[in-house]
Amino acid sequence: MTTAHEPTIPPPRRLRPWNAVERRLAKVGISGRVLVLVAPVLWLLVFFLVPLAVVFGISLATKQFGRPPYSALLSTEEGTVQLTLHLSNYIKLFTDNLYVAAYLSSIRIAAIATVITLLIGYPMAYAIARAPDRWRNILLMLVVLPFFTSFLLRVYALTGFMRGNGVINQFLGLFGIEPLVMMQTDFAVYVGIVYTYLPFMILPLYTTLVKLDTALFEASADLGARPARTFLSITLPLSLPGIVAGSMLVFIPAIGEFVIPSLLGGPGTLMIGRVLWDEFFTNTNWPRAAAVAMAMLVVVVVPIMLLQRAQSAVVEK
């Protein structure tokens, strides 16, 4: 029997299951941050690093007839293990004008298409960011709406517009204008890339532009700056992170594009994606195709590093 002056001892608190697990992991030396990083690290290991290592190993082999159609890197003879690496595939990439021209052409087409996409996407993203709130979701839905259809179907539909007897030439024929040659040209490839990758440019730009403080524009107008000066001095510099992000999302996949130049481009449209396809399926040269893929990865990684450095410099400012 307790008196009023005797303190009551509270019952022991039961640990929550997650706290108990966290304490046990802490004793082993595993923190919550490590658990968060485990999933993406495993994802990169299984679906990126392991396939990348396999492709890199194939690129160091030579073509042969059989299954698999390339030589083995490791061979055992009289109880000894021998590692044989061939650099002939990579040497061929730098000595054959076909591959050099394909890489340069891919970079040129991707860069020009990225600039055109930026010139078209920036005004659209700016208009959506400055639209009333009730219209923004509708406009964004219209931007994302093409993704509800197949990529291949959207590209193939462009042929119905740009072919010799397509919709555009039939419309021009009503005014007596001669049919335009658009299919199997670089122009058709640019149209296809801009059309398919335009949402990837608009969405990062919109995310950046919608966050801009409108008080800066009002202050600029109060100081006597014209709209063009306000855009060049405030809007454009503050939207550089969105420009860099959108350019990366368009430029990087456009370098290795295969479907668009195959359906819309002609024989003169040389891109590394088509060369990779020909080496793999037509020539059945898996080691050469693997070397082309590895070199293309390097070509893609360098622009990524440069653009990320530029984006980091902009954010630090």
Quote the pLDDT of residue 305. Answer: 77
Quote the pLDDT of residue 15. Answer: 46
Distance CA 21, CA 29 (A): 12
Largest CA distance in the chain: 109
Domains assigned to the chain: 18-83 (no CATH), 88-316 (1.10.3720.10)
Quote the pLDDT of residue 5. Answer: 55
Quote the pLDDT of residue 47. Answer: 86
pTM: 0.81
Quote the pLDDT of residue 179. Answer: 87
Specify which residues 77 forms β-bridges with: 80
Looking at residue 283, the DSSP 8-state letter turns out to be S
Parts of the chain with a pLDDT under 70: 1-22, 24-25, 27-32, 303, 307, 310-317
Of 182, 185, 197, give the one whose Cα is nearest residue 113.
197
- Tokens for 74? 């490791």
Quote the pLDDT of residue 142. Answer: 92
Quote the pLDDT of residue 124. Answer: 94
- Tokens for 209? 């532009």
Quote the pLDDT of residue 40. Answer: 84
Give the angle 194-197-198 at the CA atoms, nearest 5°: 70
Complete DSSP assignment for 178-191: PPP--TTSHHHHHH
**φ/ψ (deg, to 5) at 90:** -70, -35
Of 260, 241, 242, 249, give the one whose Cα is nearest residue 109.
260
Quote the pLDDT of residue 246. Answer: 93
C-beta separation of 272 from 102 below 8 A? yes
Quote the pLDDT of residue 9. Answer: 57
